[in-house]
Amino acid sequence: MPQKRSIYTEIARAALESRVRGEKLPSIPPDLTPDLQKPGAAFVSIKKRGELRGCIGTISPTKRTLAGEIAANAVSAGLRDPRFPPVSEDELPELTYSVDVLSEPEKVADINELDPKRFGVIVRRGGRTGLLLPDLEGVSTVEEQLAIARQKAGIFPDEPLEIYRFEVKRYY
């Protein structure tokens, strides 16, 4: 039996589908939950046949509401993720969405405070920043998680860095 989609993924799907079809973005319904009406940071991941097709998000809010953040990040994930060509209209029925809503990042003093299944990480050195979401397939150790986040930021393994952790609420 198909799983009922969450309002979080419905916002993402509606935003991307309308933009791909050349339509105006749908208006955000006024009767949203309080969480969706306040600012929040979120990542939208799009998959096609189980394979990543796009993933874009924000570390801190850039829109007035979390709903607006999800809609904007869904459009970016589908059309502007530099790793993939833009989503085409014929792909839309094959896409699945997940939305990760991020908690406020907290600085980590010791890597023993990390757990790749529970916490995502943000690494920083100067103006370079890399982020990796938690509980990703193929990432089972803190060392792997930090190495991938460093690589995304262009921070070499021997360079010192600041580490932050965050939790997510993941919606499918």
Asked whether residue 84 carries a pLDDT value surpassing 60, the answer given is yes
Q: Which amino acid is at 21?
A: R
Number of other CB atoms surrounding residue 72 within 10 Å: 20
Asked whether residue 76 carries a pLDDT value surpassing 80, the answer given is yes
Q: Please give the residue that has the higher pLDDT: either 32 or 106.
A: 106
32-69 residue pLDDT tens: 899 999 999 999 999 999 999 999 999 999 999 999 99
Asked whether residue 4 carries a pLDDT value surpassing 60, the answer given is no
Indicate the domain borders of the chain: 7-102, 106-167
Q: How confident is the model at residue 9 (pLDDT cuts 50, 70, 90)?
A: very high
DSSP state of 145: H
Q: How confident is the model at residue 1 (pLDDT cuts 50, 70, 90)?
A: very low
Asked whether residue 5 carries a pLDDT value surpassing 80, the answer given is no
Right CATH number for 106-167 from 3.40.50.300, 3.90.1410.10, 3.30.1360.10, 3.30.1490.150?
Answer: 3.30.1490.150
Token code pair at residue 148: 């991938």
Burial state string for 23-45 with b = 16 or more CB within 10 A and e = fewer than 16: eeeeebeeeeeeebbeebbbbbb
Asked whether residue 29 carries a pLDDT value surpassing 80, the answer given is no
Token code pair at residue 55: 């993933």
Asked whether residue 19 carries a pLDDT value surpassing 50, the answer given is yes
Asked whether residue 25 carries a pLDDT value surpassing 90, the answer given is no
Range from 5-9, 63-67, 148-152 carrying the lowest mean pLDDT: 5-9
139-149 residue pLDDT tens: 999 999 999 99
The per-residue pLDDT for 2 is 42
- 7-102 in CATH: which number? 3.30.700.20
| Mean pLDDT on 100-126 | 98
The per-residue pLDDT for 155 is 98
